[in-house]
Chain A
Amino acid sequence: MLQEESDLSLIIAQIVQKLKGSNLYAQLERQAWASLQRPEIKLESLKEDIKEFFKISGWEKKLQNAVYSELSVFPLPSHPAAPPEHLKEPLVYMRKAQGSWEKRILKSLNSMCTELSIPLARKRPVGEQKELLNKWNEMGTDEPDLSLFRPVYAPKDFLEVLINLRNPNYENGDSLSFRTHLGLIQVPLKVKDIPELKEFFVELGLTTGQLGIDDSTQVPPELFENEHVRIGQKVLTEQDSAAAQQYIRQGSPTALRAELWALILNISSHPEDILYYEQLKTNVIQHDLLVDSLIYKDVKLTASNDDYYFVFEDYLYQVLLCFSRDTSVLSHFAYNSASPPKSYIRGKLGLEEYAVFYPPNGVIPFHGFSMYVAPLCFLYHEPSKLYQIFREMYVRFFFRLHSISSHPSGIVSLCLLFETLLQTYLPQLFYHLREIGAQPLRISFKWMVRAFSGYLATDQLLLLWDRILGYNSLEILAVLAAAVFAFRAVNLMEVTSLAAAEKCNFILKIAAY
């Protein structure tokens, strides 16, 4: 009991500390001072009266939402004496693996740099700045020569690294037993089994209404849809983050989705936020970064060719170029097993005073990165709002899909969860695919790394991402991947090669489930 209490007070102290530096704190202070003018605030009961005022005016709700938001990303409770690395990643072997993976990425980036003799960063001449400013809304028409650039890495490279992950303290033994894991991931992490998943995802049960299924033409809307929409509107009126998160587990009506996501992610567009975005835009105009070319290349290779997202190509540049200059993103590395790459001012290699993070936000884009942003363009068409939503989605969820960690929503756990589900409940299929050299993870890995963006029709993808927000977990991606295999099991049993298995599953996009 005592331990729990001290844990709690530690958490509270940390959150208070965090919020004290935020805009909300300044606003609350101002509101409190202003409220002194009000007749109902009496000196004798000052504290109580101000609290009451906050409750009525909706400020308490805002504070609640902010605290809730912090709790969502707060790392799992740990020992107060734990060093900061433990917050990033408690397991040493994972940390080491992430470190060497990062070294490899950096090496690849640096060698591309040297090969092409392009600096990592340079200041743009004034003429170029003017040109870029004019073209800001149509950067897609710019056709720089990108043929020499290659993506720094692709998901399949990352998969190879994960396959080779081993826990040095774990002895598997050579003999096969019913416990032997037949998949590619060979690290002993705890993943949920079906009973636990059923409990975790209780709102997705067969007897609970879901949008995307129970609102189809054949089902009369009185049964579920109308009431669900009504509740959604109520949640929005109340502006309650926690309620929104609970509500969205059953899916969000299309018209309410943009606001609900903003509420859950605690994004509100204050003038300061718009100003911040404009500042980032200025940074883009003034300096050219090597990663910009990587971003261009990625967008041109992926989103521009996508049936759903090609329309928003220009928005993607506007978001991603600004994203790479946003140093506020660096704070998420406190709970991300990854660390931002360091670069040194020319000629000062190794001297810490001349170290800078590169890119400024510490995130090096890989092949397919722009697909994290693309679906959001269906919801937000105002650039600074779109930007904020994406940034928050990244620092809460997406970063886990490409860093090595033991977190239950980390990609390693997702892969293991996927393979375990398949092996446990579709053993025949799993074995068959393995025999023909088509390990299921090789097919589903890219789906999960991209959170299915580009592999599902947008309306279905958004319903999926509703659940990611609702459950504050990425485990649903592994469950969906396993479900796809279950759905296609009959066809898959007949294929004889990896390529055929891929084709079988490609119809993912066109199939309506």
Chain B
Amino acid sequence: MAGKVKWVTDIEKSVLINNFEKRGWVQVTENEDWNFYWMSVQTIRNVFSVETGYRLSDDQIVNHFPNHYELTRKDLMVKNIKRYRKELEKEGSPLAEKDESGKYLYLDFVPVTYMLPADYNLFVEEFRKSPSSTWIMKPCGKAQGKGIFLINKLSQIKKWSRDSKTSSFMTQSTKEAYVISLYINNPLLIGGRKFDLRLYVLVSTYRPLRCYMYKLGFCRFCTVKYTPSTSELDNMFVHLTNVAIQKHGEDYNHIHGGKWTVNNLRLYLESTRGKEVTGKLFDEIHWIIVQSLKAVAPVMNNDKHCFECYGYDIIIDDKLKPWLIEVNASPSLTSSTANDRILKYNLINDTLNIAVPNGEIPDCKWNKSPPREVLGNYEILYDEELAQGDGADRELRSRPGQSLGPKGSRLRDAGRTVLTTWK
């Protein structure tokens, strides 16, 4: 296969461009014959839209699935997960088992969420059950923490009320769909600070599901000490961990950027809480990622020209339970510190090695099964094909939960403890 890969991008980030150039790929424009297009989410909409779309040829690859929003829009993600749970319940799967209070034992990983304005009344019913709770309002289509705010009184979201008498508000807000979720006000704190986890997950195909987890995820810390006190509800520096927000805080540090590696987190938790509970936490995190992907797999357009690298945001509460907050289709490629730059450069590098084998002109008909050596810092999170066929390949250690009942002995763990938890 002679000829160099021709690439296009509409995201001007050095971590991308450096990776293309180091492979000796050739930059072209959108209108020319390209092989690889790293596009923004707006562009992917155009490529696959009914009016402006066009067919991709066999030697063209793009970095998004056409309807990725099934996973990456906050309201659709919740909808799909709820649907998935109900389906499992209907077929009597042990995964859908519930406890005495009706909560799912294994599938309760998204905080209670409602769509507004559609579910307003349902939300009010739930809100009244625990009136001292705090809820977080998030606009469905925005990112980087934009437009998010916390409420603890119904009056604060009056304008989403269907029964609102001031109809002029309605016209403005109907365009803007929001989700409202129960705010996790008991997050695990380290050094008194709230943090969340950003993990990168690469999906090369949804059916069969094949996904990879990047070993070098990180924790994002808030610069201000966490307090659940109601007076600080407006202080976004306390509550939102997005770097885009924290960057503007007075105490933001440009050397470490308020970030910790996942390995640091692991060391800290093992040292202070013990090895078993830490292993269990990480197992659960892998579990919820795989379940979320399985939930959207049936509705996802599994176009063979596509792969996608998602940014998963997870919060851990003080009982060491992980919660899925959201999934990002376009995780930020901006680097806030030197370490960051290195991490994201390597992330793209490893992603390209898996998505575009050997750095040669791609053929989207290939089996999407890269050899182990090219994984780099990725490791296999779940491989449906392997899991279903005999699955005797223990080396890959990627098994679905269905074949083994209880939560503890399922998915592989990242890093060293693979051996111990597996055995």
Contact = CB atoms under 8 A, between A and B. Distances in A.
Contact of B256 (A305, A315, A378): A305
Interface string B95-137: 0000000000000000000000000000000000000000000
Interface stretch (A180-188, A243-251, A253-261, A265-273): A253-261
A509 to B, nearest CB: 11
Interface string B186-197: 000011110000
Given A308-B264, A314-B191, A254 B270 contact: yes
Interface in B234-284: 250-251, 253, 255-256, 258-260, 263-264, 267-268, 270-272, 274-275
A377 B267 contact: no
Contacts of B224: 138, 141
Interface stretch (B60-68, B299-307, B345-353, B415-423): B415-423
Contacts of A424: none
A312 B275 contact: no
Contacts of A381: 272
Nearest to A253: B275
A255 B271 contact: yes
A310 B253 contact: yes
B253 A304 contact: yes
A143 B224 CA distance: 13
Nearest to A315: B191
Interface residues of B, number: 31
B419 A221 contact: yes
A379 B419 CA distance: 24
A379 B271 contact: yes
B260 A311 contact: yes
Interface stretch (A22-30, A108-116, A212-220, A412-420): A212-220
A215 B420 CA distance: 10
Which of the four size classes fits the interface of chain A? 35 or more
Interface string B319-346: 0000000000000000000010000000
A220 B419 contact: yes
A313 interface: yes
Contacts of A312: 191
A138 B225 CA distance: 7
B25 interface: no
A126 B360 CA distance: 73
A129 interface: no
B251 A141 contact: yes
A255 B273 CA distance: 7
B191 A313 contact: yes
A216 B268 CA distance: 18
Interface in A222-250: 225
A143 B251 CA distance: 10
A232 to B, nearest CB: 11
Contact of A379 (B192, B251, B264, B272): B272
A310 B272 contact: no
A458 interface: yes
Contacts, number: 74
A305 B256 CA distance: 7
Interface in B17-66: none
Given A254-B275, A378-B271, A221 B420 contact: yes
Given A137-B225, A315-B191, A217 B270 contact: no
Contact of A305 (B253, B263, B272, B415): B253
Among A307, A311, A381, max chain B CB count under 10 A is at A311
A462 B253 CA distance: 25
Interface in A21-73: none
A459 interface: yes
Contacts of A102: none
Contacts of A254: 267, 270-271, 275
A304 B253 CA distance: 8
Nearest to A216: B416
A378 B275 contact: no
A378 B268 contact: yes
Contact of B416 (A141, A215, A378): A215
B214 interface: no
A183 to B, nearest CB: 33
Given A311-B190, A311-B260, A305 B255 contact: yes
B372 to A, nearest CB: 14
Given A305-B253, A458-B267, A311 B221 contact: yes
A379 B259 CA distance: 19
A306 interface: yes
Rank and list the top 7 A-B pairs by shortest CB-CB distance, nearest first: A311-B191, A255-B275, A254-B270, A138-B225, A312-B191, A307-B256, A305-B255
Given A378-B268, A459-B263, 10 more contacts: A137-B225, A138-B224, A138-B225, A216-B416, A221-B419, A254-B271, A305-B255, A307-B259, A307-B260, A378-B267
5 contacts: A216-B416, A217-B418, A254-B267, A305-B256, A311-B190
